[in-house]
Amino acid sequence: MLAEDSFKIISVAGAHSGVGKTTLCSILLENIKGFGGIKFTKTSLYTSVVDDAKILSEDGKDTAIFLRSGAEKVVWIQSPGGDELEDALNIALAKMTGLKGVVIEGNSPLDFLSPNLAIFIIGENGEIKPTASKVCKKADIILINSEIQVENLSFLTPILQKDTKVFWIDLINKKGEIDKFLSYVRQYIE
C-alpha cells in the first residue's frame, strides 16, 4: 500500500506514446506550485529510481522538462512493471515528502495508485494502444489533444465513465480549454 494520504497525486496517462503526456505534465507543474514530478519509463530488464540532479537535468530528458517547469523535486523510475514498479513508486513517493503533491507521468503506475486525479490524454483520432485501454477507464479527466476543437465525441463513448470530464487542448500550441482545465484540476488539489 502506497502512502498517498500525505499529499495529492495527479496521474497523467495516455492513449499511446507521443500523445502529449510530458507536455501536459509541464503545464501542470508550471501552474501548480509546491508539486514534484515522477517520470515512469518502461524497461525490459531492470528497475531503477534516479534522483540525481545531474542525470535528471540532462538536455533531451523529460525529467529536465519537469525541472524547467518548476517541479520542486523530480524522480525518474525505470521498470518493467509488476511488483518492482510498486516498490519503486513507494521509494519515489517517499522522496516527495514535504511537498503539496506530485504529478506522475506514465500508464503503468496506475496499476498501483489511487490518485486524487487521473488524467488520460487521447488524440483527435481516438486511437488507443491495447495496453492503455484499461487505464483510460480510470480517468477523471479525458483530455483531447488536438489542433482543432473536436465536435463529434462519439469516439469517446466506449471509454467515458459517468463522471468523466472532457477538455480540449492543443498541447503543442497551448491553446484551447487550458484555463478551464487548470481551474478544474485545482478543485482536486486545494
Task: For 138-162, write each residue's pLDDT tens digit.
Answer: 999 999 999 988 888 888 877 777 7
- What share of the chain has pLDDT > 90, as a percent? 75
Q: Does pLDDT of 1 surpass 60?
A: no
pLDDT at 5: 56
pLDDT at 137: 87
Gap between the Cα atoms of 21 and 12, Å rounded: 6
Residue that has been written with the C-alpha cell 477507464 in this structure: 137
In order, the DSSP letters of 17-59 are TTSSHHHHHHHHHHHSTTEEEEEEEE-SS--EEE--HHHHTST
pLDDT at 33: 93
Q: Does pLDDT of 31 surpass 90?
A: yes
Gap between the Cα atoms of 171 and 46, Å rounded: 32
For the record, the C-alpha cell of 42 comes out as 518502461
Looking at the domain 8-189, which fold is it?
Rossmann fold (3.40.50)
pLDDT digits (tens, 9 = 90+) for 122-139: 998 889 998 888 888 899
Residue 101: Cβ within 10 Å count: 23
Q: Does pLDDT of 25 surpass 80?
A: yes
Q: Does pLDDT of 2 surpass 70?
A: no
Q: What are the domain boundaries of the chain?
A: 8-189
For the record, the C-alpha cell of 39 comes out as 517520470
pLDDT at 4: 47
For the record, the C-alpha cell of 45 comes out as 530488464
Gap between the Cα atoms of 29 and 69, Å rounded: 6
DSSP alpha helices (H): ranges in the chain?
21-31, 53-56, 62-68, 82-94, 133-136, 178-189
Q: Does pLDDT of 6 surpass 70?
A: no
| Long-range contact pairs involving 167-170 (C-beta distance under 8 Å, separation at least 24) | 167/141, 167/142, 167/143, 168/143, 168/144, 169/24, 169/143, 169/144, 169/145, 170/145, 170/146
Q: Does pLDDT of 93 surpass 90?
A: yes
Mean pLDDT of the residues in the chain: 92
Task: Provide the CA 154 distance to its chain's centre, in angstroms.
Answer: 24
